[in-house]
Amino acid sequence: MNVSGPDPQEFPRDAALRRGGGMSRRLLLGVGGVMLLGGCASTGGKPAAAGPAGATTAPTPDPRSRPTGSASSPGQSPSGGADTSTAPGDSHSNDSAPPDNSPAPGATGQDPPPAAGKPQFYVHEGDKAIALTIDDGPSSKYTPQVLALLAQYKIPATFCMIGQNADKHASLVAEVSAAGHLVANHTWTHPNLAKMTEAQVTAEIERTNDAITRGGAHQPALFRAPGGNWSPTVFSVCSKLGLRPLDWSVDPRDWSRPGADHIVQTVMGHTHTGSIILEHDGGGDRSQTVAALQRFLPQLLEAGYHFVQP
């Protein structure tokens, strides 16, 4: 997480597989909100060393982040190649996320979508409605492969693009958008926004919006914080820029290359009505992700799920 530039490294992220036991979503979100505020206070508002373009931060992996179900080896060096110019994937670094093994709040229509200041963890479009999000691209190698699978299964997805990749692969931005997928803003350099000032956060987001629209997609309506590292500042900037904060609820940590089997099993074992699934088409070798998508997309359809966009 939070690494950018031509030679990213991969770091573990938190609580990828959410566990919540009997806690209600509302309580979890409340706790998460407190934690977010606490985290903000603890950083003292000090900006990270990252600048808006090409800067690199390499935060220390948080030991809380190691899910027992992960077969990954975070911290390893990424593979080389033309598509490694972006950061590694996302997993949460706080405990604000809801469990992914309970019914999706809102699936019954009783819990409205999150208000301002909270990210969206679930879609709320009825029984068996789920969403697929594809992060950290576009990638000249993997995005076309993902697009082909989505076309094959007629699945609409949401691509959370990193601005510098969108700028580099503008034709893919247009291709993704033309295929009916949503394009969301995922910052310019994939930094840890929770450690950045309002001005830095704003620059990361605005520059990315510009690259995405320049590439031919609509102005994004959705924003996803790298690593799920939200802060009051990030929410404030999103509000000012008219962006809805988007999170996720099923994370197989595909970016850590745990094996296609692990990715498939995690997705199939944790997806339920309302789930927002996180996958990656950028940040390194995503061949396992592509292989897993080829397997779990038809399985989800056969299980009666249908895909919507947040």
Residue with tokens 């691209």: 137
Comparison of 102 and 266: residue with beta carbon closer to Zn ion: 266
User: Which range binds Zn ion by CB under 5 A, 69-77, 118-126, 127-135, 261-269?
Assistant: 127-135
Task: Please give the single-letter amino acid code of residue 235.
Answer: F
Closest approach of Zn ion to the CB of residue 255, in Å: 8
- From the number of C-beta atoms within 10 Å of its C-beta (0-12, 13-18, 19+), residue 97 rates as buried
Is residue 247 within the footprint of Zn ion (CB under 5 A)?
Answer: no
Instruction: Report how far residue 297's alpha carbon sits from residue 301's, in angstroms, rounded to the nearest whole number.
Output: 6
Q: Which residue do the tokens 């060096």 mark? A: 77
Nearest to 190 by CA among 56, 45, 36, 16: 56
Least distance in angstroms from the C-beta of 136 to Zn ion: 4
Q: What are the residues whose beta carbons fall under 8 Å from the beta carbon of 175, sequence distance 6 or more?
A: 143, 144, 147
Q: Is 138 near Zn ion (CB under 5 A)? A: no
Catalytic residue set: 135, 280
> What is the closest distance, in whole angstroms, from the C-beta atom of residue 224 to Zn ion in the complex?
7
The answer to whether residues 100 and 270 touch, using CB atoms and an 8 Å cutoff, is yes
Cβ atoms of residues 226 and 187 within 8 Å: yes
Q: Which of residues 77-96 bind Zn ion (CB under 5 A)?
A: 90
In this complex, which beta carbon is closest to Zn ion, that of residue 9 or of residue 101? 9
175 binds Zn ion (CB under 5 A): no
Which residues are CB-neighbours of 31 under 8 A, at least 6 positions away?
Answer: 23, 95, 96
Out of 14, 135, 167, 204, name the contact with Zn ion by CB under 5 A: 135
Q: Which is nearer to Zn ion, 133 or 233 (CB)?
A: 133
Q: 101-120: which residues touch Zn ion (CB under 5 A)?
A: none
By beta-carbon proximity to Zn ion, the closer residue of 193 and 237 is 193
Contact status: 136 vs Zn ion (CB under 5 A): yes
- Per CB under 5 A, 226 contacts Zn ion: yes
Residues in contact with Zn ion by CB under 5 A are 90, 135-136, 226
